[in-house]
Amino acid sequence: MMEKLRLATLWFDGCSGCHMSLLDTDERLLELTAFLDIVYSPLVDVKEFPDKVDITCVEGAISSPEDERMLVRVRNSSRLLVALGDCAVTGNIPAMRNIEGAPAMLRSIYTSGNGLQPQIPALDLPALNDKALPLHRFVPVDLFIPGCPPGADTLFTALTALIHGNTGHIALPTCFGA
Ligand code: SF4
């Protein structure tokens, strides 16, 4: 019996739609979990990113110093890092703010309306990078799975190929290695 691979999934600056697509594999998730242990994910209750993860799928762009630190931690603990969805692959929706930068975005959100005391909150607002950027701008990425979100069939095909170690035969013209 093949030893199960350790799978992690997480999201940074994303909408969770890519994880919804993973759930959309429906009963095929059971097929995958015959080969995979989910050791860290929004889908399971684990607080600390573990060591020695075989495959980590990352949704979302990198938008803050905290994202950067966590991404490096994840990269160092993962054998294969997968950019899951367009935000992780290109920046996509979060990167729309890059045209003007983070300070202009915050001014637009908090001070351009008709509130009585428009102001940018001084407390509890996490630090933001000026630009939201894709994963490969910070760390090496082993596989890119584009799509907003990638379809459930795409994810199932890609994960199945990764499980069996034959990514060279993934039948997806839009998948490519770093
Ligand atoms: S790629 Fe699309 S579905 Fe996935 S996190 Fe980004 S906006 Fe959401």
Which pLDDT belongs to residue 173?
37
Q: How close is the Cα of 5 to the center of ligand 1, in Å? A: 26
The reported pLDDT for the residue numbered 71 is: 98
Q: pLDDT band for position 116 (50/70/90)?
A: confident
With a 6 Å cutoff on the Cβ, whether 13 touches ligand 1 is no
**Distance of alpha carbon 30 from alpha carbon 171, whole angstroms:** 22
**Greater confidence, 36 or 178?**
36
Looking at ligand 1, which atom is closest to the CA of residue 92?
6
| Between residues 18 and 178, the one the model is more confident about | 18
Name the β-bridge partners of 59: 11, 84
User: In the predicted model, what is the mean pLDDT of residues 139-165?
Assistant: 94
The response to whether residue 38 sits with its C-beta less than 6 Å from ligand 1 reads no
pLDDT tens for each residue of 55-102 = 999 999 999 999 999 999 999 999 999 999 999 999 999 999 999 999
Which domains are delineated in the chain?
5-111+125-177 (3.40.50.700)
d(CA 30, CA 18): 18
Query: How many CA atoms does the CB half-sphere of 60 hold within 13 Å?
Result: 17
Which residue's alpha carbon is at the smallest distance from atom 6 of ligand 1?
87
